[in-house]
């Protein structure tokens, strides 16, 4: 999430909204980002959060799902992955202001498409969300002293919203839980979320992803086409 900007107006209006818990759990409408274009002509957030990992999977294709036991992919998505932020016609989000949200929704779509195309081969894909954690990246959004001031409010919100995991240890709950499951037993349309109670107990909860197979497949085909185009461009440049 490069150069995040906090929308102060949205924060203040959310405080007096019925959706205050939802907004602060997902950061919906609170953050915008300045995206950049890479040397290869890709939107930076899309290239970092989606396309680079997709190319890695393509490179590992001879190994994934080829052994005696299933292969498992786990994507780190977000509660801020919103359908409204994503467009098939602009899947790199070059014309929007929420590239992070768009890229995370794109990961959800990609996971569903990979399951559709490769489950029969023994490759299974799942999506997790670590929740709201305070890390060096988070502290880049607001100065540390501001976080210190609002921490009592965040601790209070934890009694009403389980998304505030706050630490990387708590945020890893769903990821560790998924590694212990049989990948073929998991629902491909479910997102697995790390959650923490107001008293600090960790657990895993789930939510159905707001997407459809047709959009997921079209996005997957678009990624394949983009990969072919990029490889051809790099080959001609070399």
pLDDT of residue 201: 95
pLDDT of residue 12: 59
Domain boundaries, the chain: 4-236
Q: Sorting pLDDT into bands at 50, 70 and 90, what band is 142?
A: confident
pLDDT at 47 over 90: yes
Name the residue with higher pLDDT: 160 or 10: 160
**Percent over 90 (pLDDT), the chain:** 61
Q: Are 204 and 173 in contact (CB under 8 A)?
A: yes
Q: How far is CA 67 from the centre of its chain?
A: 28
Burial 168-179 (b: 16+ CB within 10 A, else e): eebbbbbbeebe
Rounded CA separation 162/82 (Å): 19
The count of residues in the chain is 238
Average pLDDT on 61-87 reads 91
Average pLDDT on 49-67 reads 93
What ranges make up the beta strands (E) of the chain?
Answer: 4-6, 31-33, 71-76, 123-129, 190-196, 202-208
- At residue 111, φ and ψ (nearest 5 deg) are -60, -45
Rounded CA separation 80/27 (Å): 6
pTM: 0.87
Average pLDDT on 184-205 reads 95
Please name which of 200, 141, 203 lies closest in space to residue 172, comparing C-alpha atoms.
203
- At residue 71, φ and ψ (nearest 5 deg) are -100, 145
- At residue 181, φ and ψ (nearest 5 deg) are -95, 160
Name the residue with higher pLDDT: 77 or 15: 77
Rounded CA separation 172/193 (Å): 9
Q: Are 165 and 130 in contact (CB under 8 A)?
A: yes
Q: What is the CATH code for 4-236? A: 3.40.50
Helix, strand, coil percent values for the chain (each to nearest 5): 50, 15, 35
Specify the pairing of strand 71-76 against strand 4-6. unpaired
Please name which of 49, 44, 64, 57 lies closest in space to residue 227, comparing C-alpha atoms.
57
Residues with a known catalytic role: 100
Structure-token pair, residue 169 = 């240890």
pLDDT of residue 5: 61
Give Rg (Cα) of the chain: 19
């Amino acid at each position: 999430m490069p150069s995040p900007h906090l929308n102060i107006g949205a924060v203040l209006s959310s405080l007096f909204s019925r959706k205050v818990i939802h907004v602060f759990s997902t950061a919906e409408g609170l953050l915008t980002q300045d995206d950049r274009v890479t040397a290869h002509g890709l939107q930076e957030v899309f290239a970092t959060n989606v396309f680079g990992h997709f190319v890695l999977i393509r490179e590992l294709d001879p190994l994934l799902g080829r052994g005696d036991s299933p292969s498992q992919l786990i994507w780190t998505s977000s509660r801020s992955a919103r359908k409204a932020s994503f467009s098939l016609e602009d899947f790199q989000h070059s014309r929007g202001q929420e590239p992070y949200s768009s890229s995370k929704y794109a990961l959800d779509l990609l996971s569903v498409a990979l399951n559709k195309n490769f489950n029969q081969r023994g490759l299974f894909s799942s999506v997790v969300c670590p929740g709201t954690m305070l890390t060096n990246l988070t502290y880049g959004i607001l100065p540390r002293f501001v976080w210190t001031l609002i921490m009592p409010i965040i601790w209070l919100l934890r009694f009403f919203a389980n998304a505030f995991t706050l630490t990387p240890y708590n945020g890893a709950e769903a990821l560790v839980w998924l590694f212990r499951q049989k990948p073929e037993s998991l629902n491909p349309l479910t997102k697995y979320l790390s959650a923490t109670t107001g008293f600090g107990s960790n657990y895993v909860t789930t939510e159905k992803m707001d997407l459809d197979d047709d959009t997921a497949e079209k996005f997957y085909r678009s990624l394949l086409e983009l990969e072919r185009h990029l490889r051809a461009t790099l080959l001609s440049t070399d």
